[in-house]
Chains A and B, each alone.
Chain A
Amino acid sequence: DAKTTQPTSMDCAEGRAANLPCNHSTISGNEYVYWYRQIHSQGPQYIIHGLKNNETNEMASLIITEDRKSSTLILPHATLRDTAVYYCIVRGYNYGQNFVFGPGTRLSVLP
Protein backbone atom coordinates (compact mmCIF):
# COMPACT_ATOMS: atom_id res chain seq x y z
CA ASP A 1 0.00 0.00 0.00
CA ALA A 2 1.49 3.26 -1.13
CA LYS A 3 1.42 5.91 1.56
CA THR A 4 1.18 8.72 -0.96
CA THR A 5 -1.36 10.03 -3.45
CA GLN A 6 -0.41 11.87 -6.61
CA PRO A 7 -2.32 13.08 -9.67
CA THR A 8 -2.29 10.56 -12.47
CA SER A 9 -0.96 12.97 -15.06
CA MET A 10 0.08 16.58 -15.64
CA ASP A 11 1.17 18.72 -18.53
CA CYS A 12 3.72 21.51 -18.45
CA ALA A 13 4.96 23.89 -21.11
CA GLU A 14 8.63 23.69 -21.96
CA GLY A 15 10.63 26.30 -20.07
CA ARG A 16 8.00 26.77 -17.40
CA ALA A 17 8.15 25.45 -13.85
CA ALA A 18 6.60 22.05 -13.26
CA ASN A 19 5.00 21.70 -9.82
CA LEU A 20 4.17 18.13 -8.90
CA PRO A 21 2.08 17.67 -5.75
CA CYS A 22 2.06 14.73 -3.39
CA ASN A 23 -0.16 14.03 -0.40
CA HIS A 24 1.20 11.95 2.46
CA SER A 25 -1.22 12.68 5.27
CA THR A 26 -0.26 9.60 7.32
CA ILE A 27 3.45 10.35 7.35
CA SER A 28 5.13 9.70 10.68
CA GLY A 29 7.86 11.68 12.35
CA ASN A 30 10.80 9.56 11.23
CA GLU A 31 9.72 9.18 7.62
CA TYR A 32 11.37 10.99 4.76
CA VAL A 33 9.80 12.10 1.49
CA TYR A 34 11.66 10.83 -1.57
CA TRP A 35 11.13 11.65 -5.22
CA TYR A 36 12.21 9.45 -8.09
CA ARG A 37 11.42 9.66 -11.78
CA GLN A 38 11.36 7.09 -14.50
CA ILE A 39 11.93 8.07 -18.07
CA HIS A 40 10.45 5.67 -20.58
CA SER A 41 12.34 2.37 -20.82
CA GLN A 42 14.85 3.36 -18.14
CA GLY A 43 15.25 2.49 -14.47
CA PRO A 44 14.05 4.94 -11.83
CA GLN A 45 16.32 7.89 -11.11
CA TYR A 46 16.71 9.48 -7.70
CA ILE A 47 15.82 13.18 -7.65
CA ILE A 48 15.69 14.51 -4.12
CA HIS A 49 14.56 13.75 -0.59
CA GLY A 50 13.74 15.66 2.56
CA LEU A 51 12.43 15.35 6.11
CA LYS A 52 10.86 18.68 7.01
CA ASN A 53 13.00 21.45 5.61
CA ASN A 54 12.77 22.50 1.99
CA GLU A 55 15.56 21.06 -0.13
CA THR A 56 17.16 22.08 -3.40
CA ASN A 57 19.68 20.41 -5.64
CA GLU A 58 20.78 20.69 -9.24
CA MET A 59 17.72 18.83 -10.45
CA ALA A 60 14.81 20.14 -8.43
CA SER A 61 13.42 21.73 -5.29
CA LEU A 62 11.31 20.00 -2.70
CA ILE A 63 8.82 22.01 -0.70
CA ILE A 64 7.34 20.25 2.35
CA THR A 65 4.41 21.79 4.20
CA GLU A 66 4.83 22.63 7.84
CA ASP A 67 2.52 19.80 8.93
CA ARG A 68 4.44 17.47 6.54
CA LYS A 69 1.21 16.10 5.15
CA SER A 70 2.02 17.16 1.61
CA SER A 71 4.91 18.19 -0.55
CA THR A 72 5.63 19.63 -3.98
CA LEU A 73 8.45 18.77 -6.33
CA ILE A 74 9.43 21.73 -8.46
CA LEU A 75 11.34 21.48 -11.71
CA PRO A 76 12.16 25.16 -12.24
CA HIS A 77 12.58 25.16 -16.03
CA ALA A 78 11.09 22.00 -17.47
CA THR A 79 12.58 20.59 -20.67
CA LEU A 80 11.28 17.92 -23.02
CA ARG A 81 13.74 15.49 -21.40
CA ASP A 82 11.88 15.89 -18.10
CA THR A 83 8.91 13.99 -19.53
CA ALA A 84 8.67 10.98 -17.21
CA VAL A 85 6.68 9.33 -14.46
CA TYR A 86 7.45 10.97 -11.11
CA TYR A 87 7.15 8.92 -7.94
CA CYS A 88 6.68 10.39 -4.49
CA ILE A 89 7.64 7.88 -1.79
CA VAL A 90 7.53 8.03 1.98
CA ARG A 91 9.81 5.78 3.99
CA GLY A 92 11.62 5.70 7.27
CA TYR A 93 15.34 6.14 7.51
CA ASN A 94 15.90 3.05 9.59
CA TYR A 95 14.70 0.54 7.04
CA GLY A 96 15.48 0.31 3.39
CA GLN A 97 13.29 -2.52 2.29
CA ASN A 98 9.72 -2.29 1.13
CA PHE A 99 10.36 0.86 -0.86
CA VAL A 100 6.77 1.25 -2.09
CA PHE A 101 6.25 2.92 -5.44
CA GLY A 102 2.71 3.97 -6.29
CA PRO A 103 1.59 4.67 -9.85
CA GLY A 104 3.20 8.13 -9.80
CA THR A 105 2.42 11.19 -11.91
CA ARG A 106 3.02 11.07 -15.63
CA LEU A 107 4.45 14.48 -16.49
CA SER A 108 4.36 15.51 -20.13
CA VAL A 109 6.46 18.53 -21.04
CA LEU A 110 5.01 20.08 -24.16
CA PRO A 111 6.94 22.15 -26.73
Chain B
Amino acid sequence: GAGVSQSPSNKVTEKGKDVELRCDPISGHTALYWYRQSLGQGLEFLIYFQGNSAPDKSGLPSDRFSAERTGGSVSTLTIQRTQQEDSAVYLCASSLAKGWEQFFGPGTRLTVL
Protein backbone atom coordinates (compact mmCIF):
# COMPACT_ATOMS: atom_id res chain seq x y z
CA GLY B 1 0.00 0.00 0.00
CA ALA B 2 0.93 3.59 -0.39
CA GLY B 3 0.61 4.60 3.25
CA VAL B 4 0.90 3.35 6.79
CA SER B 5 -1.83 0.89 7.66
CA GLN B 6 -3.04 -0.19 11.06
CA SER B 7 -5.34 -2.92 12.25
CA PRO B 8 -7.83 -3.27 13.68
CA SER B 9 -9.38 0.15 13.16
CA ASN B 10 -11.48 -0.33 16.28
CA LYS B 11 -11.02 -2.63 19.24
CA VAL B 12 -13.33 -3.01 22.21
CA THR B 13 -12.08 -5.15 25.04
CA GLU B 14 -12.83 -5.91 28.64
CA LYS B 15 -10.68 -4.70 31.49
CA GLY B 16 -7.93 -7.18 32.23
CA LYS B 17 -7.70 -8.65 28.75
CA ASP B 18 -4.61 -8.43 26.53
CA VAL B 19 -4.74 -6.68 23.15
CA GLU B 20 -2.44 -6.58 20.14
CA LEU B 21 -2.37 -3.70 17.70
CA ARG B 22 -0.67 -4.00 14.34
CA CYS B 23 1.16 -1.48 12.19
CA ASP B 24 2.37 -1.91 8.61
CA PRO B 25 4.76 0.93 7.77
CA ILE B 26 5.47 2.37 4.36
CA SER B 27 7.75 0.02 2.46
CA GLY B 28 11.38 1.05 2.78
CA HIS B 29 10.86 3.19 5.88
CA THR B 30 13.39 2.21 8.51
CA ALA B 31 11.96 4.21 11.41
CA LEU B 32 8.67 3.35 13.11
CA TYR B 33 6.90 5.12 15.96
CA TRP B 34 3.95 4.44 18.20
CA TYR B 35 1.89 7.21 19.80
CA ARG B 36 -1.38 7.35 21.61
CA GLN B 37 -3.95 10.09 21.75
CA SER B 38 -6.55 10.26 24.45
CA LEU B 39 -9.83 12.05 23.78
CA GLY B 40 -9.20 15.75 23.22
CA GLN B 41 -5.49 15.46 23.99
CA GLY B 42 -2.32 15.80 21.97
CA LEU B 43 -0.20 12.90 20.88
CA GLU B 44 1.86 11.04 23.45
CA PHE B 45 5.01 9.30 22.27
CA LEU B 46 5.27 5.64 23.28
CA ILE B 47 8.12 3.86 21.49
CA TYR B 48 10.43 4.22 18.51
CA PHE B 49 12.25 1.67 16.33
CA GLN B 50 15.13 2.50 14.02
CA GLY B 51 16.52 -0.28 11.87
CA ASN B 52 18.22 -2.96 13.95
CA SER B 53 19.00 -0.65 16.85
CA ALA B 54 17.51 -1.20 20.28
CA PRO B 55 14.15 0.56 20.46
CA ASP B 56 13.61 3.70 22.48
CA LYS B 57 10.98 2.64 25.01
CA SER B 58 11.13 5.79 27.08
CA GLY B 59 7.51 6.73 26.41
CA LEU B 60 5.86 3.46 27.43
CA PRO B 61 3.62 4.31 30.40
CA SER B 62 3.98 0.98 32.25
CA ASP B 63 5.41 -2.51 31.93
CA ARG B 64 2.05 -3.68 30.65
CA PHE B 65 2.97 -2.06 27.34
CA SER B 66 5.43 -3.67 24.94
CA ALA B 67 6.14 -3.55 21.25
CA GLU B 68 8.15 -5.47 18.75
CA ARG B 69 9.08 -5.02 15.16
CA THR B 70 9.73 -8.15 13.17
CA GLY B 71 11.98 -8.20 10.13
CA GLY B 72 12.35 -4.46 10.25
CA SER B 73 8.84 -3.98 8.94
CA VAL B 74 5.58 -4.85 10.70
CA SER B 75 5.22 -3.82 14.31
CA THR B 76 2.91 -5.04 17.05
CA LEU B 77 2.03 -3.06 20.16
CA THR B 78 0.82 -5.28 22.98
CA ILE B 79 -1.05 -4.08 26.03
CA GLN B 80 -1.42 -6.64 28.78
CA ARG B 81 -4.13 -6.58 31.45
CA THR B 82 -5.81 -3.57 29.88
CA GLN B 83 -7.18 -0.83 32.10
CA GLN B 84 -9.87 1.73 31.34
CA GLU B 85 -7.27 4.49 31.20
CA ASP B 86 -5.69 2.67 28.25
CA SER B 87 -8.66 3.72 26.13
CA ALA B 88 -7.30 5.95 23.38
CA VAL B 89 -6.44 6.09 19.71
CA TYR B 90 -3.12 4.39 19.08
CA LEU B 91 -1.25 5.86 16.13
CA CYS B 92 1.66 4.41 14.23
CA ALA B 93 3.98 6.45 12.05
CA SER B 94 6.94 5.62 9.86
CA SER B 95 9.70 7.67 8.32
CA LEU B 96 12.35 7.06 5.74
CA ALA B 97 15.01 7.27 8.41
CA LYS B 98 15.63 8.81 11.81
CA GLY B 99 14.92 12.51 11.71
CA TRP B 100 12.83 12.53 8.53
CA GLU B 101 9.19 13.57 8.47
CA GLN B 102 6.77 11.00 9.77
CA PHE B 103 3.76 9.62 7.96
CA PHE B 104 0.93 8.49 10.17
CA GLY B 105 -1.53 5.67 9.90
CA PRO B 106 -5.24 6.08 10.59
CA GLY B 107 -4.92 4.73 14.10
CA THR B 108 -6.62 2.04 16.17
CA ARG B 109 -9.34 3.20 18.51
CA LEU B 110 -9.11 1.11 21.68
CA THR B 111 -11.97 1.08 24.13
CA VAL B 112 -11.54 -0.75 27.41
CA LEU B 113 -14.82 -1.42 29.16
| Residues of chain A at the chain B interface (Cβ within 8 Å) | 2, 34, 42-46, 49, 87, 92-104
B72 to chain A, nearest CB (A): 15
Q: B104 touches which one: A44, A94, A95, A104 (CB < 8 A)?
A: A44
**Neighbouring B residues of A42 by C-beta, 8 Å:** 106-107
Q: Which 7 A-B pairs have the closest CB atoms?
A: A43-B104, A97-B48, A101-B43, A96-B98, A97-B56, A101-B42, A93-B99
Interface of A is mostly: loop
- Size range of the chain B interface in the assembly: 20 to 34
Q: Within the complex, which residue of A92, A99, A102 is in contact with B33, where a contact is CB–CB below 8 Å?
A: A99
CB distance from B6 to the nearest CB of A (A): 8
The complex places the Cα of A100 from the Cα of B102 at a distance, in Å, of: 12
